[in-house]
Amino acid sequence: MIDLDAYFARIGYAGPRAADLAVLRRLHALHPAAIAFENLDPLLGRPVSLDLGTLQRKLVGGRRGGYCFEQNTLFRAALEALGFTVAALAGRTLWMLPPDAPPGPRTHMLLRVDLADGPYLADVGYGGHLLAAPLRLVADLEQATPAGVLRLRPGDGFLVLQTRLGADWRDVYRFTLEAQAPIDQEVGNWFTSAHPNSRFRRTLMMERLTPEVRVSLTNKRLTRRRPDGSAERRTIACADELERVLAVDFAVDPPVAPALWFDRLPD
């Protein structure tokens, strides 16, 4: 079972322990602010376990983050311990892909949370565009969150999560409402962490979302985006600088010193 006291201390939550929308929203905001999205283990050739005890030692007890399977497995365990009804779903990433790109594998894990007023999408692990709040599972409803406006567009048997950037809508990922069994997550997690064609084994990807800033790292390119739309971008120049960025911007202690692998990263 999850240690709720330790998890709440990790994300800075001291509120009521009720299975309601107010609690879900608060937890959903605090989690990505405290526990960064990161793929350091696959990048360094290390296995990724979805065992809850291992996840608690890594993401709760240690200064580490993880990717969608780790983040949402942990978040699901916390929600279920509070009495929420939760199902795991699977999606295909679309973020920054051209419209005619062939479909990728269903390697994104997200959650459906059923509340009295209907189902909600919860997702604290999409590192391309972290969500600050749960979304009602209702098509074509524009939903304002602290980190932007999103909507769900219906497709042929699936839904597409979109975010508004300026006057345009950008696809984030597509998913179905079919509940996934733990073995489905194990297969997706293995492909993401171990398959030689997985981007997670070739590209450093990190993101943390706080009320003040969305900070993202792709290889050596660091971006800080403010809620007003302004952005600061720079290239990390050396391993020591990367170590400082990991500690300060992402609150992460790398499992291996960046000096041992920084030079392998493309600019």
Whether residue 70 contacts residue 55, with contact meaning beta carbons closer than 8 Å, is answered with yes
> Domain for residue 112, yes or no?
yes
**Total structural domains in the chain?**
1
Residue numbers of the domain that contains 119: 4-29+66-185
Q: Which two tokens stand for residue 48?
A: 């990724």
> Domain for residue 148, yes or no?
yes
pLDDT digits 0-9 by tens, 74-96: 999 999 999 999 999 999 999 87
123 is annotated as an active-site residue? yes
> Domain for residue 260, yes or no?
no
For range 11-35, the mean pLDDT: 98
> Domain for residue 121, yes or no?
yes
Q: Is the pTM of this model over 0.85?
A: yes
CA dist 40 and 62 (Å) reads 14
> Domain for residue 264, yes or no?
no
Pick the catalytic residue: 31, 68, 171, 267? Answer: 68
> Domain for residue 154, yes or no?
yes
For range 259-263, the mean pLDDT: 94
pLDDT digits 0-9 by tens, 45-63: 999 999 999 999 999 999 9
Confidence category of residue 23, pLDDT binned at 50, 70, 90: very high
Pick the catalytic residue: 31, 41, 123, 129? Answer: 123
Pick the catalytic residue: 108, 114, 156, 253? Answer: 108
pLDDT digits 0-9 by tens, 153-211: 998 899 999 999 888 999 999 999 999 999 999 999 999 999 999 999 999 999 999 99
CATH number at residue 112: 2.40.128.150
Buried/exposed code over 230-261 (b: 16+ C-beta within 10 A; e: otherwise): eeeeeebeebebbbebbeebbebebeeebeeb
Q: What CA–CA distances, in Å, run from 107 to 5, 188, 209?
A: 30, 5, 22
> Domain for residue 230, yes or no?
no
Enumerate residues 6+ apart whose C-beta is below 8 A from 187.
Answer: none
Q: How many CB atoms lie within 10 A of CB 181?
A: 9
> Domain for residue 244, yes or no?
no
